[in-house]
Amino acid sequence: MTALEGRTVVVTRSADRVEELAALLRERGAVPLPAPAIRIEPVPEGGPLDEAITDVAMRGYAWVVFTSGAGVDAWFARAAELGVDARALNAKVAAVGSGTSERLRDHGIESELVPPEFTTASLAETFPEGREKVLLARADIATPELEESLRGKGWQVTRVDAYRTIPADELPEAVAQALGEGRVDAVTFTSRSTVQGFTALAEIADGPLVACIGPVTADAARAAGLRVDAVASPHTLEGLVEALERAFASR
């Protein structure tokens, strides 16, 4: 029996990504409760993303940088719609972490650079200096620190929105009821946007543990007034589950 056995754990990832974390929690005996705090939507056709995909295929960039699995999926979905070979990333590729790198590998792409810590700050620090063109494929709400850091290293940086992040309109009824009745043991967050989306819809009392995938997400949770009980290390879904398990074991 693990420390998560029988624990009800809210999963705030988008609906298309909730199952991966939910499955890991079930393996440890927990009861995952999906509560998508955001949804992922494609950007309009015919815009900067389409132009970037074509330019990369034509060897217009030295590097392409992906900072999320959602960005990878959005890129290759649009490439398929444009009739561009999914493997036509004619540039070096950087991924923010192992999950993003694995998503690229699913499309036949090996990452040239994955930072030792799976954060954009570590990616910026690890990235070499240069004078050529770099493309960042990111969420529409991503903050500008990464591109600013790369420009500081001499690169010509172009950022395109690969997808839109939309806050959820409401909580699932089962989640609202479980929170109201005090039956939630923990809430998990995997991005700043999941924190913002969830806390706009619900209050977390002192009861549930709060677990975050990394320091940026944890900072967002604290800024929202939450007590953070566990931060994953490494900053992966597996690390998040293990951090949550340790937090329960130490209680």
Single out the residue of 133, 132, 147 nearest to residue 67, CA to CA: 147
Output the CA torsion sign for 72, 77, 82, 87.
positive
E strand segments, the chain: 8-11, 31-34, 38-42, 63-66, 92-95, 133-139, 156-167, 186-189, 209-212, 230-231
Residue 103 phi, psi dihedral angles, 5° rounding: -65, -40
Single out the residue of 190, 178, 226, 197 nearest to residue 24, CA to CA: 190
Token reading at 153: 């290293």
Q: Is the pTM of this model over 0.95?
A: no
Token reading at 217: 């997400």
In tens digits, what is the pLDDT along the chain, a chain of 251 residues? 799 999 999 999 999 999 999 999 999 999 999 999 999 999 999 999 999 999 999 999 999 999 999 999 999 999 999 999 867 789 999 999 999 999 999 999 999 999 999 999 999 999 999 999 999 999 999 999 999 999 999 999 999 999 999 999 999 999 999 999 999 999 999 999 999 999 999 988 778 999 999 999 999 999 999 999 999 999 999 999 999 999 999 98
Which pLDDT value is given to residue 251?
80
Which pLDDT value is given to residue 87?
75
Distance CA 109, CA 225 (A): 40
Count CB-CB contacts under 10 A for residue 60: 15
